Structure 1
Amino acid sequence: MAEYVLDHHLDGERSRLALMSRLLDPMHRRHLEALGVHPGDRTLEVGCGNGSISAWLADRVAPGGTAVADDIDLSLVDVRPPNLELRTDDIVAGPIDAGSFDLVTARAVLHHVADADAALRNLVASLKPGGVILLIEPDFLPVSVAEPPEVEAFWDGWLAWSRDAGIDYHIGRRLAPRLAALGIEDLAGTAETAVYNGGSAWATYWIDTVTELRDQLTASGHLTAALIDGFLTRCADAAWWTETIAFTAVHGRRAPHS
C-alpha cells in the first residue's frame, strides 16, 4: 500500500478520524444493513481506521460470528469487543484468509493504494463463494466545480497535489466495471454527496484535513498560502454553501461456484 498521507500519528488525526466516522458511518451502516449482516457471519473491513464500523459489525455478527478489522496501523482502534479480531495484513500483497468471509468492506482506502487492481483482486479473493462485497470510494466531481473561482482554484491545486502523491480521487466511478471484470455479480451502487456550509461538521473536517497537510500542500508547488487561507476562511463562513466529495458505494456478490 502507498504511504498514507494522513499518518495516524499526526497531531489531531484521532479527532479527524472520529469526525469522519460521524460523517460517513451512517451511510456505511445503511448500505451494510441493506445487504444483510447476520449472527454467525465472518466479516472483514480493510482500512478500519478507528474501528467504528468493525465494532458495529462485531455487534451484528454476535453470537457466533467474528469481525476482522485490518489496517496498516491499529493504534487508533479503541473499541475492542471480544469477537473483533485485529489484523495488519497488506491487502495489496494477497488475500486475507482467502475464501473465508461472508462480507468484505472497505471505505476510502483504494484511492490511496498504489496498486488498486491488486487490492481489488485480493478483496474479492477474500470472499466466500456467494459472499458480498461493499466498497465506498470518492469521486471528486462535485468538489472540483465548487464556487467561487478562488475555491475552484484551491481544489484544482489539491487535485494536482493528490495526483503527484499517487491518490486517485476519481476511483469511485470506476469501481463497478473493475468489480465486474473480477466476476462480481448483482452489481449495484449509488453516489451521494453532502451540501454543507461554513462552520458545519463537513467544513470542520476540511479545516482539520487541510491544516494537517498544509506543509505538504505548499511544498508541492500546486497551492499557495493565499489559496489555502482563502479556502479556510470560506470554511468558517456560515454564509458559504458548497458540496463535498461524492462517495460512491458499490456492492455485489461473488459467484456461488467461483
Structure 2
Amino acid sequence: MFPPGRAGEGERIDFGALAYDDITMARLRALGAGPGWRCLDVGAGTGTVSCRLLEEAGVTGVLAVDRDVRFLSERPVSGLDMLEADITAPDFDPGRFRLVHARFVLMHLPERERLIARLAELVEPGGVLVLSDAVDLTSDRAPGTPYTEVMRAMWQALRDTIGTDVSWVPAYPQVLRGAGLVSVGAEIHVPPLLPGSPISRFWADTWERSRAPMLATGLVDDAAVDEAIRYLGSDQCAALSAGMLTVWGWKPEEGRR
C-alpha cells in the first residue's frame, strides 16, 4: 500500500514524525537515553528518531534498521549506522543494545508476541525496550462523521492487505511483562486534528495513497474519501486521531528478577 519508491512517500512518513517525534523523544530521554547508550531503532523510516537520539540525547550510537533504507541513506549523521533487514527473519540478530525502540512497526506484522519476545532478547541487562503502536479510537460509540467513516475503511483495508491489527495493542504491557521485562509502564498520546496540522496532513495523504484498497472494502466510495479529506482541512472537524500507545519495560540485571 505504501511502497517506499512512490513519489512523496518520505514526506508522508515525515508528517507522522512531526506529529509524534517530540512525544517519543520526551519519553526516551525520560528513560535515560543519553551518552554511553547504544540504541537499536527498528523500522526507522526516514530516520528522524535515530538522528534526534544522536543529536539531542547524545547517545553513543544508533543502528537504524528498515526493510528499505533509502530514506536513511539521505541522513549522513555521525554515529548512525544502517542495516537493511527483515526483523521477522529467524537469523535477525544485530547484537545487544541499551535501548531497543520500534514505533508503528509491530502492528503491521504477524506473530507479534514472538517478535516482542525477540526484541526483548536484544536488550542488554539493565536496558529498556520501548514500543509504540496505534490505538484505534473510532469505536462504534464514536459519532458518525466523514472522518470516522473513512478511518474505519482504512483500518479494514490495512487488515485485508497488510494484515495490520491494532486491536491487541492495549495488551502490550502484559506482553512485555510476559517477555521477562520489569518496571513496565505505558502512556497514550492523541495529537489534535487541526486544519493543516501534521497529523491531519498525514491522514489525508495516507487516505489518498490507500484509496484503492479502501474502496475495495465496500465501506466507502470516492465521494466519501474526498469529503473526509475536505472535512480534515476544515474548521468543522471535531474528531479524535488514532492514539499512539507507548509501552516500556526494563531487562533485569544479571542475577536479578
**TM-score, normalised via structure 1 length:** 0.89
CA distance in 2, matches of 1:61, 1:42: 12
Please list, as runs of the form range in 1=range in 2, the aligned pairs for 1:174-193 lying within 5 A after superposition.
174-193=171-190
Matched, 1:242 2:239: yes
CA distance in 1, matches of 2:235, 2:17: 23
Q: Is the 1:185–1:255 contact (alpha carbons within 8 Å) kept by the matching residues of 2?
A: yes
Q: Is the 1:144–1:156 contact (alpha carbons within 8 Å) kept by the matching residues of 2?
A: no
Please list, as runs of the form range in 1=range in 2, the aligned pairs for 1:1-258 lying within 5 A after superposition.
5-59=1-55, 62=58, 65-77=60-72, 78-94=74-90, 95-98=92-95, 100-142=96-138, 145-165=141-161, 166-257=163-254
CA distance in 2, matches of 1:153, 1:207: 13
CA distance in 2, matches of 1:61, 1:149: 41
Secondary structure of the corresponding residue to residue 125 of structure 2: strand
Equivalenced residue count is 252
The CA deviation string for residues 183-241 of structure 1, in whole angstroms up to 9 with x for no partner, is 01000111121222333332211111101111222134333222212211211212322
Higher mean C-alpha deviation, range 113-122 or range 248-257: 113-122
Q: Is the 2:147–2:239 contact (alpha carbons within 8 Å) kept by the matching residues of 1?
A: no
Alpha-carbon shift at residue 145 of structure 1 (Å): 5.0
**Per the alignment, do residues 61 and 233 of structure 1 end up closer, same or farther by CA in structure 2, a change over 3 Å counting?**
closer
Aligned partner letter, 1:213: S
**Per the alignment, do residues 139 and 224 of structure 1 end up closer, same or farther by CA in structure 2, a change over 3 Å counting?**
same
Alpha-carbon shift at residue 82 of structure 1 (Å): 2.4
**Per the alignment, do residues 19 and 46 of structure 1 end up closer, same or farther by CA in structure 2, a change over 3 Å counting?**
same
Secondary structure of the corresponding residue to residue 39 of structure 1: coil
Q: Is the 2:153–2:219 contact (alpha carbons within 8 Å) kept by the matching residues of 1?
A: yes
**Per the alignment, do residues 106 and 257 of structure 1 end up closer, same or farther by CA in structure 2, a change over 3 Å counting?**
same
CA distance in 2, matches of 1:201, 1:143: 23
Q: Could you list the runs of 5+ residues in structure 1 that have no partner in the other structure?
A: none
CA distance in 1, matches of 2:115, 2:251: 16
Q: Could you list the runs of 5+ residues in structure 2 that have no partner in the other structure?
A: none
CA distance in 2, matches of 1:135, 1:116: 12
The CA deviation string for residues 145-170 of structure 1, in whole angstroms up to 9 with x for no partner, is 54334443323322322222211123
Aligned partner letter, 1:8: P
Secondary structure of the corresponding residue to residue 217 of structure 1: helix
Identity %: 23
Higher mean C-alpha deviation, range 107-116 or range 45-54: 107-116
Aligned partner letter, 2:69: L
CA distance in 2, matches of 1:257, 1:71: 30
Q: Is the 1:138–1:248 contact (alpha carbons within 8 Å) kept by the matching residues of 2?
A: yes
CA distance in 1, matches of 2:101, 2:51: 13
Secondary structure of the corresponding residue to residue 41 of structure 2: strand
CA distance in 2, matches of 1:196, 1:48: 25
CA distance in 2, matches of 1:20, 1:158: 16
Runs of 4+ in 1 over 4 A off after TM superposition: 60-63, 142-146
**Per the alignment, do residues 104 and 147 of structure 1 end up closer, same or farther by CA in structure 2, a change over 3 Å counting?**
same
**TM-score, normalised via structure 2 length:** 0.90
